[in-house]
Structure 1
Amino acid sequence: MTVNVYPSGYSAEEGGEHISVYLRLWSDPGTARVKLSKKFRIGDPSGKSPLIVLCSEDIFTRVRETWGFQKFTMVNSAKSRYIGHNGSFTIRCDLEVHTKACTTSTSTTIAKPMIVVPPSNIVRHLEQLMVSKQWSDVTSLVQESEIHTHWLIIAVRSLLLYDTLEASTTNSVIRIEDMKVVVLRAILHFVYTDELVPVNETVVAREMMAAACRFRLEWMKAMCENLLAHLLSKDNAMSTLELALRHHYEELKIYCNDFTERAMK
């Protein structure tokens, strides 16, 4: 099966107002008929707009090898609501092939009713809670910068981080001497959102990874490994490999070795 997307519509008569999307049977089925259910959907990367979902159940044959939706969505709607931050537009296609033999020679497309459920935005709400400082009950002071957070969220996400901050608390203010403010902000951003802050410096990425290990944030540790692999260059490959060997970062070690071998060719 192949997915064919027509950004300006399947035919010129449509005037380029709709995006068309079709599923095509790639191989010749001979006299057989292939029955499957398909679901095309797009979502707003920002989580503000509802999902667009279209479903159908079709029978593909040698004569009718293509099924889809001529007016999947409006071009203007896609550009204004469903374009990612990197300019990408993503259509997801889910397929279910029916293994039971088809006994009818007719082919029909039946649109199934779908209740549109918007994507979860709890991450954005937690991020706003952190940024707004609303209802914060703990203040961290690091490198003369104040960071306001919430004990409950920290305790739920990392007991080690909670214990470390609590042990340094004096009059509701936590003084942290062994960490840079950029690293603590990165840790807290992950605690609230499960996401890494954008980082382009290898040194900062390494310190973030060390902090993730310190507080046993395994998901953040894996993301930092991936970030260090992304930032890998000829200038820092050996030092990053030494870091991976010293702390037993197996995936990063393998990636560094592969990178070094390719760079030497």
Structure 2
Amino acid sequence: MGSKKTVSRYTTKSEQGTHSFEIVGYSLTKSIGVGNFILSGTFAVGGYDWAIRFYPNGIDEGHTQYVSVYLELLSKDSEAHASYDLRLVNQGTGLPQSVLSESIPRLFKSSDITRFGPQHQSFMLRTELEKEEAGYIKEDCLIIECAVTVVKKPQLSNTTVYSEIKVETSGLSDHFGKLLLEEEGADVTFVVEGEKIAAHKIILAARSPVFKAEFYGQMKEKNARCITVEDMLPHVFRALLHFIYTNSLPDMDDLGDDDYSDMIGLLLVAADRYAMDSMKSQCERILSELLDVKTLAVTLALADKHNCSGLKDVCIEFIATSNKMDAIVATKGYADLKRICPSVLVDAFEKAYKFRRI
């Protein structure tokens, strides 16, 4: 007898939109006086109308050293649950930098002061905004961006009854993992520190552009059946192959905390070497979660060397917010980083300083 399954669904959706407000002739706006503002064009997100308010001389006499920027809910008699991110565009790079945000949605009510975000008066010191090296003002033009995410009203569906049919999972990753272990049909052997490891060219090429170039491009390994891998440990190379075949990192529960962190760092290097971006990003995420005083300097050096911008930003934020600089400076990793690549520390501390000032 077949089983019955009943289903209802509570659905919450969101809609995101970004508005870019270009202020041409920025210097002229400072003549409008304290407490006066200019308003962007109206833009719609999530069924509501919004605008950006810009106070070039501060919102009141107590904040004349600041410029103030607000997101405003314009829709009449409305309430909206929304989060936002106010940004300034670096016109040298074209990249926006987040200055003020609320990442957790809150209630905006058009009838009171909550229609504005943020809920305080200052946005940025005018001297910081106008610094030439900041790149925010170019040819007397300032660009403010605001990304708004509106949480729409949830919907509850009617209960539906289904006859349940069991669907067997494909076990694709298990099958490929077994293929790697049993070496059936293997057509290439890697020699890593004297240890031989068999694999399949077509699978490696499908997953890594580096292997694809080696086996099917103009490189000398094109017709080779035995390839020596330099500067890598056998267990690291095996873990790389495990990810290539199964799209997952191998089980490392038997490793202690320090060994686990070291292993993830080695896997990040291997992933970068073979252009395995999904593996690399997974290693970045794990290292960011393991970040502490002891691992900071080593992780920062690794992030800089292998172009891990997200991981590098996490390290800089840790420096800016941890209040543990004495402990960080005392680590061996910090001494090594200072000796080998001092420019990384200079860059990190400059960004951390700016982070604190915002």
- Shorter chain as denominator, the TM-score bin is 0.5 to 0.7
Matched, 1:159 2:110: no
Structure number, greater radius of gyration: 2
Residue from 228, 231, 234 that aligns with 1:175? 228
Asked whether the 8 Å contact 2:191–2:197 carries over to 1, the reply is: yes
Q: CA deviation at 1:262?
A: 4.9
Q: CA deviation at 1:97?
A: 2.2
Instruction: Using structure 2 for the length normalisation, give the TM-score.
Output: 0.42
Name the CA shift for 1:258/1:161 in 2 (closer, same or farther; >3 Å).
Answer: same
Matches within 5 A, 1:107-186: 111-164=161-214, 167-168=220-221, 172-186=225-239
1:233 equivalent in structure 2: 292
Q: CA deviation at 1:111?
A: 2.9
Asked whether the 8 Å contact 2:5–2:161 carries over to 1, the reply is: yes
Asked whether the 8 Å contact 1:53–1:116 carries over to 2, the reply is: no
Matches within 5 A, 1:39-50: none
Q: Where do 5+ consecutive residues of structure 2 fail to align? A: 10-153, 253-258, 325-358
Q: CA deviation at 1:243?
A: 2.4
2:264 equivalent in structure 1: 205
Q: Where do 5+ consecutive residues of structure 1 fail to align? A: 1-51, 59-94, 103-108
Matched, 1:223 2:276: no
Name the CA shift for 1:246/1:177 in 2 (closer, same or farther; >3 Å).
Answer: closer
Partner SS for 2:163: coil
Q: Percent identity?
A: 29
Name the CA shift for 1:53/1:224 in 2 (closer, same or farther; >3 Å).
Answer: farther
Matched, 1:249 2:308: yes
Q: CA deviation at 1:144?
A: 1.3
Cα distance between partner residues in 2 of 1:175 and 1:137: 15
Q: CA deviation at 1:136?
A: 1.2
Matched, 1:187 2:240: yes
Asked whether the 8 Å contact 1:155–1:162 carries over to 2, the reply is: yes
Cα distance between partner residues in 2 of 1:159 and 1:149: 16
Aligned residue pairs total: 169
1:54 equivalent in structure 2: 5
Alignment RMSD (CA, Å): 3.0
Name the CA shift for 1:138/1:247 in 2 (closer, same or farther; >3 Å).
Answer: closer
Alignment deviations for residues 191-224 of structure 1 (CA, whole Å, 9 cap, x no partner): 1011112454333322221221222211111111
Name the CA shift for 1:53/1:231 in 2 (closer, same or farther; >3 Å).
Answer: farther
Name the structure where strand makes up a greater proportion of residues: 2
Cα distance between partner residues in 2 of 1:57 and 1:242: 50
Name the CA shift for 1:137/1:96 in 2 (closer, same or farther; >3 Å).
Answer: farther
Asked whether the 8 Å contact 1:55–1:112 carries over to 2, the reply is: yes
Cα distance between partner residues in 1 of 2:223 and 2:268: 27
